[in-house]
Structure 1
Amino acid sequence: MLPCPFSLSPPLSSFPWSVQLWLGRYNLFEQEDTKQFVHVSKSFPHTQFNLSLLKSHTTYPEEDYSYDLMLLPLAEPAQISDAVKVLELPTQEPQLGSTSCASGRDSIEPHPFVFPDELQCVDLGLLSNVCAEAHTQKVTDLRLRAGHLTSGKDTCVDDWGPGR
Structure 2
Amino acid sequence: MPPVLILLTCLLPLGAGAEEIIGGHEAKPHSHPYMAYITFQEDGEKGICGGFLVKDNFVLTAAHCLGSSMKVTLGAHNIDTNEDTQQIIPVAKAIPHPDYNEKDWSNDIMLLKLEMRAKRTKAVRPLRLPKANAQLKPGYVCHLPGWGGTSLSATKKAASLQEAVLIIQDDQKCKLRFHRYIETIQICAGDPKEIQAAFKGDSGGPLVCDNRAYGVLSYVKTETIAPGIFTKLVSFLPWIRSSMKPF
SS of the residue corresponding to residue 73 of structure 1 reads strand
Pick the aligned partner of 1:37 from 73, 88, 95.
Answer: 88
The answer to whether the 8 A contact 2:149-2:155 is kept is yes
CA change 1:34–1:153 in 2 (3 A) is: same
TM-score w.r.t. the length of structure 1 is 0.71
Distance in 2, matches of 1:156 and 1:8, equals 13
SS of the residue corresponding to residue 37 of structure 1 reads strand
CA change 1:148–1:86 in 2 (3 A) is: same
Letter in 2 for 1:3: A
Percent identical:
25
Structure 1 runs not aligned, ≥5 long: 11-17, 54-62
- Which residue is equivalent to 1:4? 63
SS of the residue corresponding to residue 61 of structure 2 reads coil
- Which residue is equivalent to 1:157? 219
Pick the aligned partner of 1:25 from 48, 65, 76.
Answer: 76
CA change 1:95–1:151 in 2 (3 A) is: closer
What does the per-residue CA deviation read over 1:27-57, in whole Å, with 9 as the maximum and x for residues that have no partner?
122231111011212111112102xx3xxxx
Does residue 105 in structure 1 map to residue 151 in structure 2? Answer: no
Distance in 1, matches of 2:218 and 2:106, equals 11
Structure 2 runs not aligned, ≥5 long: 1-59, 199-216, 222-227, 229-247
Q: CA RMSD in A?
A: 2.6
Pick the aligned partner of 2:164 from 101, 113, 122.
Answer: 122
Distance in 2, matches of 1:8 and 1:156, equals 13
Letter in 2 for 1:108: T
CA change 1:24–1:112 in 2 (3 A) is: closer
Distance in 2, matches of 1:156 and 1:48, equals 15
Distance in 2, matches of 1:138 and 1:80, equals 39
The answer to whether the 8 A contact 1:138-1:157 is kept is no
SS of the residue corresponding to residue 19 of structure 1 reads strand
The alpha carbon displacement at 1:140 in A equals 2.5
CA change 1:113–1:131 in 2 (3 A) is: farther
More RCO (CA 8 Å, sep 6+) = 2
CA change 1:69–1:47 in 2 (3 A) is: same
TM-score w.r.t. the length of structure 2 is 0.49
Of the structure 1 ranges 32-41 and 100-109, higher mean CA displacement relative to structure 2 is found in 100-109
